[in-house]
Structure 1
């Protein structure tokens, strides 16, 4: 099989399974967001806080997502790192109305970004500035400033204002994530096939 045949085979548009870590402090809306992304017949009517973690699946136009919904309670956050190696993308959810804990969210994000299993990987990160329906919510631009997102230079990232209860802003975020997951996948496939010819 020639190089071009192998390349086209790897890059063919087909359903790809993607492992996504959904992180953020407790009560930021992670589980509500994931629930809203599921097909309507699979959505839960009652959302309860996640203890430990749960696994959910949903599909976009060309990708199948397996989402690890990690508890954001303080005593469970040390579990996050056990799933970093398997994660191919990250959704980080922030409660835009909780200004008091924005500093804690930034500390957790910094810890995540500096972890050895994340630090040197070009893993896409989607931020949801959630709970935009609440009166005390700050804009996604302000959330970006408070978390110093402009300092993230080595990973593609995007922030969306969202209202998880109504589902607003969620599709925009998933569309962005899908584009970057596929882009990174294509680049890795290309490098795996082409670089050996130059070594």
Structure 2
């Protein structure tokens, strides 16, 4: 009987109290957006991930919250589309490869260009320094400085170091995102 009660309770939660939130994941090519999304949605990390062409979407279920995550391509030709997919979302996740120091200035410029768009005013921003498992990476404090995150205003901004491969700090990412589920 307890199993039946749990099934009914879970169904009631999903039906009447479930919350769906939209999250857009952006960042330069090869930052690890698709790998992160695959791991968050319960899949395995794959070393040979193919670059995202355009976008893809996955749902990540956590309790009564469903994160509908949009993963946008990071190649230069897709960056003009980022703003359109970030409008009206609950949170924007900007992923940076913290082991590829040569791309950090480009990441900073693209991030600030995007955050200056009036249509995105007030949308919370989570910056993730991915590939923390690699040598020659920068720290979270260095990433905050290099990306000038303190200059981004009119929204909540947080920054975490993660490793999609090692699944480091991913629960903290989900908890941060779920704070904005009712927004």
For residues 72-131 of structure 1, the C-alpha deviation after alignment (integer angstroms, 9 at most, x for no partner) is 01111112122122422111100001111100000110111111211x3x2111111111
Residues 164 and 107 of structure 1, relative CA distance in 2, 3 Å threshold = same
Name the CA shift for 1:165/1:55 in 2 (closer, same or farther; >3 Å).
same
Taking the aligned partners of 1:156 and 1:57, their CA distance within structure 2 comes to 23
1 or 2, which has the higher helix percentage?
A: 1
For the 8 Å contact 2:31–2:96, the answer to whether it is kept is: yes
Distance of 1:115 and 1:153 partners within structure 2 = 12
Question: What is the CA-CA distance between 1:143 and the residue it aligns to?
Answer: 0.5
Which position in structure 2 is the counterpart of 1:85?
87
Query: Which stretches in structure 2 are left out of the alignment for 5+ residues?
Result: 1-15
CA separation in 1, counterparts of 2:67 and 2:180? Answer: 14
Match of 2:148 in 1: 148
Match of 1:33 in 2: 36
Partner of 1:127: 127
Deviations 1:17-44 (A, max 9, x none): 111110000000000000010024xx57
Residues 26, 73 of structure 1: 8 Å contact kept = yes
Q: Match for 2:104 among 94, 102, 105?
A: 102
Q: Is the 8 A contact 1:156 1:180 kept in 2?
A: no
1:1-199 mapped onto 2 (5 Å cutoff): 14-40=17-43, 43=44, 45=46, 47-118=49-120, 120=121, 122-182=122-182, 185=183
Q: Report which of the two structures shows the higher radius of gyration computed on alpha carbons.
A: 1
Aligned residues: 167
8 A Cα contact 1:125 1:156, kept in partner: yes
Quote the Cα distance in structure 1 between the aligned partners of 2:78 and 2:93. 17
> Take 2:114 and 2:79, find their aligned partners in 1: how far apart are those partners?
10
Q: Secondary structure at the match of 1:50?
A: coil
RMSD: 1.7
Give the TM-score normalised by structure 2. 0.85
- 8 Å contact from structure 2 (residues 112, 152) kept in 1: no
> How high is the TM-score relative to the length of structure 1?
0.78
Report if the CA contact (8 A) 2:32-2:130 is conserved.
Answer: yes
Structure 1 unaligned spans of 5+? 1-12, 186-199
111 and 22 in structure 1: CA distance in 2 versus 1, 3 angstrom threshold: same
